[in-house]
Structure 1
Amino acid sequence: MVQRRDGHIADYERLRAAVSNEPLIEIPERIAHLRSLKSGISESLPALRTALREDLGKHSLETDSSEVAPIILEIRHALKHVARWSRVQRRKNPFFMPGSSAAVAFEPKGLALILSPFNYPFNLSVGPLVSALAAGNRAVIKPSELTPATSQVVSDIVSRALPDSVAAVALGDKETARSLLELPFDHIFFSGSNRVGRIVMSDAAKFATPVTLELGGKSPAVVCAKADIDLAVRKIAAGKFLNAGQTCIGVDYALVDDSVFDHFIEKLQDRLKMIYGSSKDEWLSSPSLSRIVSGDHVSRLRNLIEDSISEGGTVVFGGHSDVALRFVAPTVVTNVKSDSALMSDEIFGPILPVIRTKSIEGSIKIARDIPTPLAVYVFSDAKDDDRRIRAAVRSGAIVTNDVLSHFVHPELPFGGCGASGFGRAHGYAGFQTFSNERTILKNRKLFRSPLESVYAPYSDKVGTLLERLLRRF
C-alpha cells in the first residue's frame, strides 16, 4: 500500500489538533500505548522477518537480535520506569529564597517527527517512538524509502497498535521527508548521514524546533599491544560485518599495534573463513551475510576497494562484489594510508581497513585526525590504555573489550558528539529528550524574600551590604 502524497499532511493536521485538544497524555494511557505497541510487534514478527530478508537479506536471527529484541527491551524498561520518570522532582532552595518551593515537571513536547534510516529500518523507527510515547508525545514516523517492505510493516504495526490521534507513519520518498520538514513540529529526531543531518537542522531552525541528530562517523577499534587477540578478533568481526557493515556504531576501521598486527590479521582471516567461508561461492551463499541496500551503494563500495588497491592497499580477505545481487564480500584491506579514500568518510559496508601503528600514541594521533565518531572501541588488558585513549579521543561512547553492547544497555544514554551528532536516546535519556523540563517555583509568602532588598529604588546602604556578601562568597 502506497500512501497518497498529501496523506501525511492530513496526518500532521489530525495529530496537531490532538495535541491542542489534549496536550497531556496521562501515565495510564501512555502505558496502554506501550503495551499495545509491544503486542503489535510480537504479532508481526513473522512479517518483519520476511520484510527484512527482502530489503536487506537479513537472517531471521539477525532480525530478532538487532532489530526486534532491543525494542522489546526498551519498551519493557519504559513500562517499568515511566511512572517514576514522570514524577515532579523537588529541588532544594538557596538560603536567600526561604519559604519558596522549587520543582521540575517533565511534560511532553507535543508532536514529534521521527526520520529513520535504511540500515536498521525497524529498530531506528520504533526506538525513538517508544521514548516519545513514554514522554506523552504524539509522533509522525517517516521511515526510509530504500527499505519499502519493512517500512510498510512498521506502518501496519503502528496503525493497528496505536490510535490515529497518537501516531502515524508517512510512507514516501525524500520529497515526503522534505514536505514534513516544512511543518512546525515540536521535536525532530533524525538518524542518518551527516550531510542530511545538516539539512534537517537547517530546516528545523526555521521554526526553532529542537533536534536530536544521531549521525555516523568512523568508529575505530584500537587493538593495543596487551590486547587479548582472540577476543579482539571475535568482537571486531561481529562489530564490523553485522548487517554487512551498515551499522552506524559498527567498527569502521582498526588500528592495530605493530607487535600484534600479523597475529591479528591471521586470526581475523581464520575467523572470517569460519563464519562466511573462503570462496566467492561460499560468501554468496552464506546465510550470515546481509545484503547492501542498493546497487548504487554496492558500486560506491566497489570503488572504495579499487581506489584503496590503486593507492597501495592489499586485500587480504574478500574483495568480491556484485551490483545485481547487492552483494559485497566481507573484505579486509591492509597497507592502508591514513589519507586514503577508505579513511576519508564512513565506509558503511563490509570493508575493514586495518592500519599498523607503532604505539598507542600512534593510534591516538590517527583517531584524533578523524571527525568525532559515535564510538571508540579499545581492546587491551592494560589498566591504563583505555583511560589514555578516553582522555585523548572524543566520541559519543568508549567501550573496552567489547563492541556495540552499549546500544542495548538500558541505563546508558546513546548518542554522538561533534560530527557524529548531538542529543541522547534510550531509557531515561530518551524520555528526557522528548520532554520539556518545566521549572516550577512557588513563593508561599511566609517570609519576605531577601531578593526584594535589591528592588528599585536603589540605595548605597544595600549596595554596600551586597558588596560585602559578594566578597564573602
Structure 2
Amino acid sequence: MKNIVQRQRQFFKDAKTLKVKFRKAQLRKLKATLNKYEGEIIEALKHDFEKPAFETFSTEIMVLDQEIDHILANINNWSSTQRAKSARINFPSKSYIKPQPYGVTLVIGPWNYPVQLTLNPALGAIAAGNTVIIKPSEIAPHTSALLTKIINSNFNPGFLHVVEGDADTTQALLSQPLDYIFFTGSTHVGKIIMKAAAEQLTPLTLELGGKSPTIVDETADLELAAKRIAWGKFINAGQTCVSPDFVYVQNSLHDKFCNLLKEHIRNFFGDNAAQSDDFARIISDKHFHRLANLIDPSNVFYGGSTNPDTRYIEPTVLTNISWDDPIMQEEIFGPILPILRFNELNHIIETLQSKSHPLALYLFSTNKLNQKKVMHRLRFGGGCINDTVAHLGNPKLPFGGMGNSGFGSYHGKASFDTFSHPKSIMKKSNWLDIPLRYPPYEGKLNWLKKLKKFL
C-alpha cells in the first residue's frame, strides 16, 4: 500500500494532472474503455446478484457515460481561475480563486451499484486533477475483479489504480498519508472510515444511507404514485441507498394504494417474480438472512416468499406497521416495503423531524401548500415531488446526505468542487504602500476608526 500511494504521489508531483488537456483525455479514455467492456460488466453483475441487463446499462453504464459527457462539456469553465472583488483595505490589489486538486485520493466503493457508485466519484477526482486509488467492494467479487482488469490494464498506476481486498485492505490504505477520502456505504462503516481519516486530519466525503420516507397524501395521483413507488423500491431488488424505505399513505387511500402496489408489482415481475429476468437477487447470504428475518408473516399484504438457495426475496408489502416494529429500526435495503397510515400531515412532519435525517425523501401530492410545507420543514439529502429515485439522473443536482446519511456531495460540478480546494490568492501592487497598518500604532487607532466606514 505504501508503494501504491508513493507512486501516485510522485505522479501528482510531476504535474501531469494539472493540465486540463490531460484530464479530458483520461476521461475520454475511461468512457471508451467502459463501453468496450459493456458486455463483461453486464455479465459480472449478473454473476454477483442476478442484476438485469437493462438495469445494469441504465443505472451503471449509461449514468457514467452521461456524467463524463457533462464533465467534458464544463471542465474548462470549472477549472478556470475566477476573479474575486478585492477588499478596499488591500488597495491596490487583485484577487482571484484557483481550483486546486488535493493530490492522492482514495475512493471506496459499495456493492449495490458496484460500477457506477465506485467510478462516479472517481470521475470528479480526475476532473479536478487528482490521482485516484479505487477500492471496490469485495462483496460483489465478480465486479470487483472486472474493475481491476478494466482499470489496471488500461491506465498508468501512478494516476488511476484499483486495489482489491477486504476490510483489512481498506484499513491498510487508510493508514497511508492520503489527501482525500470518498466513501460510499453504510453508516456503521462510515464512522470507522471517519475515525481513521481523523487520525491524519484527512478531509473526506461520506455517502451513507438511512430510512428514506415516502409520503402519499389524499391529493396524489394514486395510480401513478403506486407505479413510481413500486419502481423506485424494487429496482435492484431494493438494494438502493435512495430507495423508498417506507411509505406513509393517508388513511382514506390506504386500501386502494396497497391494491395498486400489488397490481404494479405483478405488472413488473409477473405473478412469480422468482421466474422473472427483471428482478435481482440479494447480494449475500448475510444480507439475505437479515432481510428474511424482518418479514413478519402476520403483516404481509403481498409477497413474503424467500429462497435461501438463490438468495431470492419476493417483492413484499407489509401493512399494519408502526415505528415499534423491528423493520422500522434500521434501513431495510431490500425488497420489503412497509406501509404506515396517517391522517394529518403535520403529525407526520413532526414524527419525521424526530428521526435521523434521511438521504432521500419523496412526496406524492398535487397540493402546492403541502409540497411547500414538507420541503421546507423536513431536512434530508435530496428527493422528488411525485417521483422516486429519478433525481439522481440529473448531473446538475448535487447528491449527498446530511447527519447520519452522510456529508458532502457529488455529481457534476459538485464532484469537481468536492475534490478541489478553492485556493484564494491576492496580488498586491507595489506602487502604493499605506503606512497605517505598520507599527508603531500610536495615534493611528482613531484614523482606523474613521476609515472603517469606507472599507
Pick one of 453, 460, 471 that aligns with 2:436: 453
Given that 1:304 and 1:341 are in contact with CA atoms closer than 8 Å, whether structure 2 keeps it comes out as yes
Deviation at 1:259, TM superposition (A): 2.1
> Is 1:412 equivalent to 2:402 in the alignment?
no
Report the alpha carbon displacement of residue 446 of structure 1 after superposing the two structures with TM: 3.4
Partner of residue 33 from structure 1, selected from 17, 26, 51: 26
Asked if 1:402 is matched to 2:402, the reply is no
Q: Are 2:14 and 1:14 aligned?
A: no
- Contact between 1:298 and 1:322, CA under 8 Å: does it hold in 2? no
Aligned to 2:242: 249
- Tell me whether 1:100 sits opposite 2:83 in the alignment: no
Secondary structure of residue in 2 paired with 1:236: helix
Which SS does the other structure have where 1:218 is aligned?
coil
- Who is 1:365 aligned against? 350
Q: Distance in 1 between matches of 2:454 and 2:159?
A: 54
Residue 323 of structure 1: CA displacement? 1.6
Q: Which residue of 1 aligns with 2:132?
A: 139
The residue aligned with 1:54 is 47
On the 8 A contact 1:48/1:150 being kept in 2, the answer is yes
**Structure 1 residue 297 corresponds to structure 2 residue 268:** no
Are residue 427 (structure 1) and residue 409 (structure 2) matched? no
More deviation, 53-62/389-398: 389-398
Shift of 1:458: 2.0
> What's the CA shift for 1:219?
0.7
Shift of 1:412: 1.0
Q: Is the CA contact (8 Å cut-off) linking 1:247 and 1:348 kept in structure 2?
A: yes
Counterparts of residues 208-227 of structure 1 (less than 5 Å): 208-227=201-220
Paired AA for residue 344 in structure 1: Q
Q: Which amino acid aligns with 2:341?
A: R
Alpha-carbon distance in structure 2 between the residues aligned to 1:33 and 1:184: 25
**Structure 1 residue 339 displacement after superposition:** 2.3
Distance change (3 Å), C-alpha of 1:387 and 1:446: farther
SS, match of residue 351 in structure 2 = helix
Q: Does 1:90 align with 2:83?
A: yes
CA contact (8 A) 1:33 1:161 kept: no
* Counterpart secondary structure, 2:340: strand
What displacement does 1:14 show? 1.5
Give the aligned residue type for 1:301: L
Contact 1:217 / 1:346 at 8 angstroms: preserved in 2?
yes
2:228 alignment counterpart: 235
SS at match of 1:254: strand
| 1:62 Cα deviation from its structure 2 partner | 0.5
The answer to whether the 8 Å contact 1:131/1:426 transfers is: yes
* Post-superposition offset of 1:24: 4.5
Structure 1 residue 447: Cα displacement: 3.1
How far 1:159 moved relative to its partner?
Answer: 2.0
Amino acid at match of 1:456: P
- 1:463 and 1:433 map into 2 onto residues whose CA distance is 42
Q: Which residue of 1 aligns with 2:187?
A: 194
**CA–CA separation in structure 1 for the residues paired with 2:452 and 2:376:** 36
| Number of the residue aligned with 1:166 | 159
Structure 2 counterpart of 1:183, from 172, 176, 179: 176
Indicate which of 96, 103, 108 corresponds to 1:115: 108
Match 1:352 to one of 333, 337, 340 = 337
Q: CA RMSD in A?
A: 1.6
The SS at the match of 1:69 is helix
State the Cα distance separating 1:465 from its structure 2 match: 3.8
- Per the normalisation by structure 1, the TM-score is 0.93
Tell me if the contact between 1:188 and 1:209 (Cα under 8 Å) persists in the aligned partners: yes
Q: Could you say what secondary structure the match of 2:293 adopts?
A: helix
The answer to whether the 8 A contact 2:247-2:337 is kept is yes
**What's the CA shift for 1:283?**
1.8
Deviation at 1:25, TM superposition (A): 2.8
State the TM-score, normalized to the length of structure 2: 0.97
Bigger Cα displacement from structure 2, 107-116 vs 385-394: 385-394
Counterpart of 2:446 in structure 1 is 464
- Counterparts in 2 of 1:68 and 1:38: CA distance versus 1, 3 Å: same
What's the secondary structure of 2:425's corresponding residue? strand
Contact 1:40 1:160 in 2 (8 A): no
Structure 1 residue 108 displacement after superposition: 1.2
Check the 8 A contact 1:24/1:107 in 2, yes or no: no
Cα distance in 2 for partners of 1:472, 1:19 equals 45
Match of 2:265 in 1: 272
Letter in 2 for 1:160: S
d(CA) in 2 for partners of 1:472, 1:39? 57
1:19-38: per-residue Cα shift (whole Å, max 9, x none)? 23337430111111000000
Q: CA deviation at 1:165?
A: 1.9
> 1:298 corresponds to which letter in structure 2?
F
Give deviations 1:373-402, integer Å, cap 9, x for gaps: 111111100111121112221101131111
Gaps of 5+ in 2: none
| In 2, Cα distance between equivalents of 1:26 and 1:291 | 43
3-state DSSP of counterpart to 2:147: helix
**Partner Cα separation in structure 2 for residue 320 and residue 24 of structure 1:** 52
Aligned positions, number:
455
1:277 partner amino acid: G
Which deviations, in whole Å up to 9, do the C-alpha atoms of 1:242-289 show, x marking residues without a partner?
Answer: 1011000111110111122222111111111211233xxx22111111
3-state SS in 2 of match to 1:255: strand
Aligned residue type for 1:354 = I
Change in CA separation of 1:115 and 1:39 when aligned onto 2, cut-off 3 Å: same
- After superposition, the C-alpha distances for 1:163-187 in whole angstroms (9 at most, x for unaligned) are 2221110011111111111111100
Q: Give the SS at the match of 2:138.
A: coil
The CA distance in 1 between the partners of 2:346 and 2:148, in whole Å, is 49
